């Protein structure tokens, strides 16, 4: 049996940070409100001219260095983003060229905040099917470019960044017997389209548009869907919350992370939290959290990780990964 083993991970955050206090000078908000309602203290914002592909390339280079794998070995790039450089070609193809890769496939996945889980599932299935051997799975976003900076209900929530993992197809035997992506579960419910969307696009308005969200409604659905999808993942693998070493959630709101951990009966210390420093980076948030946990030594080889996310569409999903 073939498993997709995580060989390395990497992250990149733009240099500029934007604090709650700075935001309070632009819109009618306060550090106290943002921290209490979301847990966010600051977020990173891409510099002028710094594109999603730039963020993605650096995260990918760092993941390859961490995995000690040469770029030429990569034969699949799946890049999750809702903020591509251009409508087409895929940002993944640009990253492929910047990394000097001249073979294999490269394409984008659009599942907004669930994008990385969708991308991981796609790459995992290609690797397990034997079609590719070494995949770069990237989540990269410049949400600052689609925010309405006059809408305090959304502009305080999001940030820019990128994270990447290298997956390798390995025979599941010896030390690799239990390692890698154990399962992925994906869901969508397009009826909820209008609760979280961007009001522009090439086929509708000809502009790129701005993010619109009915926050309270999204919150309510997120708590319900995430609790269901983590249960589904554990149940499918014959595992319980006690087996989980780390919950690595999509970072939208600290209150959503706490609610999911509480429903699982998981101690708060077992949740990787980056929302305070990154805000919501959409498809980049899960790989950014993975990279943060791996870099500071919390996530160790052999540990069981439960990844989950929920976003526009609605889409939601989970992945169980033995690191």
The catalytic site residues sit at: 113, 250, 280
Residues 198 and 210 sit within 8 Å (Cβ to Cβ) = yes
Give the whole-angstrom CA distance, residue 287 versus residue 54: 16
Residue 135: helix, strand or coil by DSSP? strand
Residue 106 Cβ vs ligand UT7, minimum distance, rounded to whole Å: 25
Chain centroid offset of residue 10 CA: 12
Q: Which residue from 161, 311, 313, 317 is in contact with ligand UT7, where contact means CB under 6 A?
A: 311
Binding mask 129-168 for ligand UT7 (x = CB under 6 A): -----------------------xx--x------------
223 binds ligand UT7 (CB under 6 A): no
Binding mask 256-295 for ligand UT7 (x = CB under 6 A): x-----------------------x---------------
Q: Which two tokens stand for residue 34?
A: 């943002």
Name the residue nearer to ligand UT7 (CB basis): 113 or 264.
113
The piece of 175-183, 204-212, 215-223, 224-232 that touches ligand UT7 (CB under 6 A) is 215-223
- Identify the sign of the CA torsion 250, 10, 167, 102: positive
- Using the structure block, give the residue that is written with the tokens 């609760």: 195
- Going by DSSP bridges, is the β-strand pair 246-249/211-213 parallel, antiparallel, or unpaired? unpaired
- Using the structure block, give the residue that is written with the tokens 């500071």: 296
- Going by DSSP bridges, is the β-strand pair 76-80/134-142 parallel, antiparallel, or unpaired? parallel
Please work out the total of residues on this chain that contact ligand UT7, with binding judged by CB under 6 A.
Answer: 20
209 binds ligand UT7 (CB under 6 A): no
Local structure of residue 72 (DSSP, 8 states): G
Summarize as ranges the residues that interact with ligand UT7 (CB under 6 A): 29, 33-34, 37-38, 113, 152-153, 156, 215-216, 218-219, 222, 252-253, 256, 280, 310-311
């Amino acid at each position: 049996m073939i498993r997709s083993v995580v060989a390395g991970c990497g992250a990149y955050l733009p240099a500029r940070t934007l604090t709650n206090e700075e935001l309070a000078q632009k819109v009618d908000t306060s550090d106290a409100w943002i921290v209490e309602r979301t847990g966010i203290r600051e977020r990173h914002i891409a510099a002028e001219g710094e594109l999603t592909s730039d963020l993605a390339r650096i995260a990918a280079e760092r993941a390859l260095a961490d995995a000690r794998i040469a770029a030429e070995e990569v034969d699949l790039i799946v890049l999750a983003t809702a903020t591509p450089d251009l409508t087409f070609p895929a940002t993944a193809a640009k990253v492929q060229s910047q990394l000097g890769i001249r073979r294999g496939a490269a394409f984008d996945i659009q599942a907004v905040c669930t994008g990385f889980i969708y991308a991981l599932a796609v790459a995992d299935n290609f690797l397990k099917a034997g079609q590719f051997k070494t995949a770069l799975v990237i989540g990269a976003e410049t949400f600052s470019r689609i925010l309405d900076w006059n809408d305090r209900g959304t502009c305080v929530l999001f940030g820019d960044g990128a994270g990447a993992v290298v997956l390798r197809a390995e025979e599941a035997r010896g030390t690799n017997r239990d390692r890698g992506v154990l399962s992925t579960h994906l869901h969508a419910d397009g009826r909820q389209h209008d609760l979280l969307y961007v009001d522009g696009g090439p086929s509708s308005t000809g502009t790129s548009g701005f993010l619109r969200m009915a926050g309270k409604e999204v919150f309510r659905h997120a708590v319900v869907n995430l609790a269901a999808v983590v249960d589904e993942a554990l149940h499918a693998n014959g595992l319980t919350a006690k087996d989980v070493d780390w919950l690595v959630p999509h970072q939208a709101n600290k209150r959503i992370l706490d609610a999911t951990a509480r429903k699982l009966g998981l101690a708060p210390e077992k949740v990787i939290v980056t929302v305070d420093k990154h805000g919501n980076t959409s498809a980049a948030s899960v790989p950014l959290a993975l990279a943060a946990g791996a870099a500071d030594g919390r996530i160790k080889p052999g540990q069981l990780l439960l990844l989950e996310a929920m976003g526009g569409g609605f889409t939601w999903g989970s992945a169980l990964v033995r690191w």
